Chain A
Amino acid sequence: MTECLNEEMRDLLPLLAHGSLEAAEAERVRMHSAGCAECAAELAVLETSRLVLRASAPRVDVAAIAAAVGQSAAGASAAPVLRVERGGAKPVAAVARRSVWRSRQLLAAAASLLIVASLSLRLLDRTPSSNEGPSAPDTATVIATDPAPPAAAAGSELSVGDALVDLTSDDLSALLTELEGFDGKITIEPAAMRQPVVDTPGSR
């Protein structure tokens, strides 16, 4: 079987059969084929082969595949797969445990601050009135400075309830002993600690 020596044209024949050539180029190949028996025969084989291969190929359910792929994509974005990488981010479970521990730290720190405030108030209560200068405020204010970070501590005035003030020294000592081992660091100020200052005995 003879073959056309124009390789450029022969290379373009399958693209002409496919219909993917630009109009001008398609016309150029058609013109060549019209005068070339070999290329005309090859083009006929290509067109037939293309029809047969396309028709013989299995039909897929495009709508079903699109739906399945869409669900998979939506599922992936709604619930990302947990991946633990060496040296990378910690898995969700570890983050959750850390969150619980942080909450406990915050509670302990808040209790610690309340205890310190109570002790201070006790001391104020036992201090002779001569220590109160003429410019002393009407209310006793305890500024939380440690262990809260500066941003959280700014203006954080404690409110001390009667029940806490009424604790005995022994009760307070016991609580302080329990908290001695605590070395947590406060990163968030509990909302309860933002309450306004209250009156304390002897302040009026």
Chain B
Amino acid sequence: MAYPVPGTSDATDAELIAQWQGGDQRAATALVGRHAQPLARFAASLGERDRIDELVQDTFVRAFNSLESFRADSSLRTWLFTICKRLVLDRKRTERRRRDGVELDEGHAVVGYDALDGLVAEETAKRVNDAVARLTPLQREVFTLRVTEGMPYNEIAKVVESTDGACRVHYHNAMRIIKEYLSDD
């Protein structure tokens, strides 16, 4: 969902960061509006289902508090996704400790959400979600970043802490599993 902020729609992320560091709070709002929903999708692909708003908010707060450590050799979105992933892993570790070592089921990532906006039939959506759920967590992560966010492999590699080539392999394996599942019926 776009969240337009007057005078900031055409600015690049780097320009908005500079504006925010200069004291313009609207720039921070514009950055949140630009990246919040993709972060929510990414969090969902990682298996997060609860308190997504809180997770996205924490991601931005942590990012804005450590902007000096942001390196311009990657995109802001990639950096945000990296922070978000660390927060998700922290959450999972905390929950795992709370459950006394009971492993989380990471096999069902993108399920349980409604509002398909009438774009896709419910049955088709269920089948696609089931197909994606068959992927390994890493395959699902790479597939989501590639397909829903349009990320290049080198940026995906930074988020998942792997190599470009490995990410490419994960993507094509994921694609093959999904196609096979969907063509079974």
Residues on A lying within 8 angstroms of B by beta carbon are 1, 3, 10-11, 14-15, 17-20, 41-42, 45-46, 48-70, 72-74, 76-77
Q: Does A15 contact B25, Cβ atoms closer than 8 Å? A: no
Q: Does B150 contact A14, Cβ atoms closer than 8 Å? A: yes
Chain B nearest Cβ from A110, distance in angstroms: 42
Contact with A along B36-48 (1 / 0, CB 8 A): 1101110111000
Interface: B170 (CB within 8 A):
no
Tell whether A14 pairs with B117 under 8 Å between CB atoms, given A62-B37, A66-B28, A74-B25: no
Interface: B64 (CB within 8 A):
yes
In the complex, which of the residues A3, A14, A61 has the most CB atoms of chain B within 10 Å of its own CB atom? A14
Instruction: Give the complex CA separation of A45 and B171 in angstroms.
Output: 14
Residues of B within 8 A of A17 (CB): 147
Residues on B lying within 8 angstroms of A by beta carbon are 1, 3, 20, 23, 25, 28-29, 32-33, 36-37, 39-41, 43-45, 49, 52-53, 56-57, 60-61, 64-65, 110-111, 113, 115-117, 119-120, 124-125, 128-129, 131-132, 143-144, 146-150, 168, 171-172, 175-176, 178-180, 182-183
| Top 4 A-B residue pairs of the complex, sorted by shortest distance between their CB atoms | A18-B150, A20-B150, A57-B41, A66-B32
Residues of B within 8 A of A41 (CB): 179
Q: Does A59 contact B20, Cβ atoms closer than 8 Å? A: no
Instruction: Give the complex CA separation of A57 and B110 in angstroms.
Output: 7
Instruction: Give the complex CA separation of A20 and B176 in angstroms.
Output: 22
Instruction: Give the complex CA separation of A64 and B60 in angstroms.
Output: 12
Q: Is the interface of A mostly helix, strand, loop or mixed?
A: helix
Q: Does A73 contact B64, Cβ atoms closer than 8 Å? A: yes
Residues of B within 8 A of A54 (CB): 41, 148
Instruction: Give the complex CA separation of A19 and B148 in angstroms.
Output: 10
Of the candidates A10, A11, A65, A77, the one whose C-beta lies within 8 Å of that of B57 is: A65
Of the candidates B150, B168, B178, the one whose C-beta lies within 8 Å of that of A11 is: B168
Of the candidates A10, A19, A48, A70, the one whose C-beta lies within 8 Å of that of B25 is: A70
* Additional A-B contact list (8), CB under 8 Å, known A18-B150, A53-B110, A60-B40: A49-B131, A56-B44, A57-B40, A59-B37, A60-B53, A62-B36, A73-B64, A76-B64
Instruction: Give the complex CA separation of A50 and B43 in angstroms.
Output: 15
Q: Does A52 contact B146, Cβ atoms closer than 8 Å? A: no
Residues of A within 8 A of B111 (CB): 56
